[in-house]
Amino acid sequence: MINVPHKILLVFLSIILFTGCKDDDSDNNADDPKAENRRSLGTSAEELLSDDTFKSMTVELVYAPNYRPKQESIDSFKDFILARVNKPDGVTFIETEISNQPNAPFTIEEIRNIEDLNRTQYTVGDDIAVYVFFSNGSSENDTSTSVTLGTAYQNTSMVVYERTLQQITLDEPEILPILESTTLHHEFGHLFGLVNIQEDDIHPGGDHEDLDHLKHCIIEDCLMYFEANNVTRIMERARSRAQVADLDPLCIADLQAKGGK
């Protein structure tokens, strides 16, 4: 029996702006089939959104037994992606079941190592691949007052702390899909470059970037609002309207400027 303090947790979704560069021997990139998928967060925004370079996308969901997200969350994630990307040859979801990964809670380095060992889909030809790990352990950054729900940490890589999501919804399992979907959509928004992650926002100076919470949106109802991730807020949304926050028009305009829909 695991005791988690819930409902009062200040929960945040985090982003990692720069990769650890442990594979920073870029001269060898031409020979490394994984190099395309080992760049900094936000650098593949245009590649993910437009059909200029990549005509299709493969999204790999990786999880240990008992940590597969709800089917409705997967469906909602698909809808979210399809609504934004121009991929004439389609978006394919692949699921890979792995064993429980040891040494939880995980540092982001450990999350990267899990990816190295278990990711099977890499960008090849005109298909761009995205990796999503549904973690069987929490983030090592969690404290008694805050937990991390998800992190976008590389150009095509993100983690959802599924075990944490399951724990904080133990009393209200009907809210789990809203938490899963919000985390998936919000972190993919960071892969799309939101907000102003590579400082190439079409809005001058990233004028809808929240300067108190960088790389997030100032519009309160927006998916990319930093508090879109506050558990109390998500749960209130879930109870009242049972829906995940959408992107506001400014964020959508940024995506369209990079070839999205």
User: Please, what is the minimum distance in Å from the beta carbon of residue 35 to Zn ion?
Assistant: 26
Nearer to Zn ion, 63 or 225 (CB): 225
Residues of this chain that interact with Zn ion (CB under 5 A) are: 13, 217, 219, 222, 224, 248, 251
User: Please, what is the minimum distance in Å from the beta carbon of residue 213 to Zn ion?
Assistant: 8
Nearer to Zn ion, 118 or 151 (CB): 151
Nearer to Zn ion, 41 or 64 (CB): 41
User: Please, what is the minimum distance in Å from the beta carbon of residue 15 to Zn ion?
Assistant: 5
User: Please, what is the minimum distance in Å from the beta carbon of residue 53 to Zn ion?
Assistant: 25
Measured CA to CA, the distance from residue 147 to residue 143 in angstroms comes to 6
Nearer to Zn ion, 108 or 222 (CB): 222
Nearer to Zn ion, 171 or 212 (CB): 212
User: Please, what is the minimum distance in Å from the beta carbon of residue 28 to Zn ion?
Assistant: 32
